[in-house]
Chain A
Amino acid sequence: MGEHRIPVAHQFDDSVQQRSAATLGMWIFLATEVLFFGGMVLAYAVYRVLNPEAFARASRVQNILLGGINTAVLLTSSCTMALAVHAAQHGQRRRSVICLLSTMFLGLAFLVIKGVEYAEKLHEHLVPGIDFRYAGADAGAAQLYFILYFLLTGFHALHLTIGIGLLAVLAVRSALGYFSAEYSNPVEVAGLYWHFVDIVWIFLYPLIYLIQAYR
């Protein structure tokens, strides 16, 4: 593939139109994602309003440190992602690949830490549906907290996994020279997705871990 030939699909007039279509498409997709997570956030909001004490108590089993580390990991990964996009836009192939790979690595690190936390929950019988045992008084409401915890973080982890797959493809393509200063659209669009997944976590961390850290 020629270094400076920009592939334009037949339905588009030019690469500018193609680029703005792809970007807008991703933004609209992200809007649907907001509402997808929004359904769970609504359930969380309603049940937390109905059971404030139980949610606070249940949240105390969370490991604030691990969650905090994971937040830092994701924030860093967003930075490397932004750098990858920047490098791709300036035709710096090598830098772009390195940044994409570091982003993937940070994403994987997040998943590993998340996996450790899941394993702890499983060990402590805090997974609803799988021999759930909760010592506190309000097991019913605590169970709601843990279902929503697993739903929210589970779907978040799923999105992250998809993102890592996406970046893997892009890293290979980058290395093969698919992208150039004139054509870096796929990297930009994947970047938007990655940042969105980061933003979801920015909200999940205080909602899940930091409800009542002071007690």
Chain B
Amino acid sequence: MKAPASTAVYFRVTGGLFLLLALTVSLAFVDMGPLNIVVAMTIAVVKALLVVLYFMHVKSADGVTRAAACAGVLWLIVMVALTLSDFLTRT
């Protein structure tokens, strides 16, 4: 949980986030069919990971914090996946 000595890492991460933002917007204008949503979500996950790991210091956090950070997302995935298992298999 300790903050790094230098603030340089925050500026680098912010720069990365802006690049990814530009990337996701420009790729949204390319017709990739069903891949558009996959690409957009992948970029969003990378952005979120940057924020979680560096801004929220999970990179240097203990196991409990990491578990808590994962739990909500994991449960959300379970909820969406099992619900869609109904909607996608309706006949």
Q: Do chains A and B touch in the complex (CB under 8 A)?
A: yes
List A residues at the B interface (Cβ < 8 Å): 19-20, 23-24, 27-28, 30-35, 38, 41-42, 45-46, 49-50, 64, 68, 71-72, 75-76, 78-79, 81-83, 85-86, 89-90, 188, 191-192, 195-196, 198-199, 202-203, 205-207, 210-215
A72-B21, A214-B28 known; A82 and B10 CB under 8 Å? yes
Enumerate chain B residues within 8 angstroms of A78, measured Cβ to Cβ. Answer: 14, 17, 51, 55
Q: 5 smallest A-B Cβ distances: which pairs?
A: A34-B72, A31-B72, A206-B40, A210-B28, A27-B68
Name B's interface SS: helix
A23-B21 CB under 8 A given contacts A85-B3, A203-B44: no
B68 touches A79 (CB 8 A): no
Q: How far is the CA of A196 from the CA of B55 in the complex (A)?
A: 10
Q: Is the CB of A34 within 8 A of B73?
A: yes
Residue of A nearest to B65 (CB): A27
Q: Are B47 and A79 in contact (CB under 8 A)?
A: no
Asked whether, in the complex, the Cβ of B44 is within 8 Å of the Cβ of A202, the reply is yes
- Known contacts A38-B76, A195-B55, A198-B51; is A24 also within 8 Å of B30 by CB? no
Q: Find out whether the CB atom of B14 lies under 8 angstroms from the CB atom of A76.
A: yes
Q: A195-B51, A199-B48 are in contact. Are A27 and B69 (CB under 8 A)?
A: yes
Residues of B within 8 A of A (CB): 1, 3-4, 7, 10-11, 13-14, 17-18, 21, 24-25, 28-31, 36-37, 40-41, 43-44, 47-48, 51-52, 54-56, 64-65, 68-69, 71-73, 75-76, 79-80, 83-84, 87-88
Measured between beta carbons, the chain A residues less than 8 angstroms from B14 are 75-76, 78-79
Alpha-carbon separation in the docked complex, A81 to B54 (Å):
12
Partner pick for B17 among A75, A85, A191, A196, CB 8 A cutoff: A75
When C-beta atoms are compared, the residue in chain A nearest to B88 turns out to be: A49
Interface centre among A27, A41, A83 (most CB of B within 10 A): A27
CA distance A23 to B7 in the complex (A): 21
Cβ–Cβ contact A32 & B30, under 8 A: no
Complex Cα–Cα for A174 and B85 (A): 50
A72-B18, A192-B56 given; A83·B47 CB < 8 A: no
Assuming the contacts A35-B76, A82-B55, A210-B40, asked whether A23 and B1 have C-beta atoms less than 8 A apart, the reply is: yes
Q: In the complex, what's the smallest C-beta–C-beta distance from A138 to chain B, in angstroms?
A: 18
CB distance from B62 to the nearest CB of A (A): 8
A64 touches B25 (CB 8 A): yes
CA A46 to CA B1, docked complex, whole Å:
38
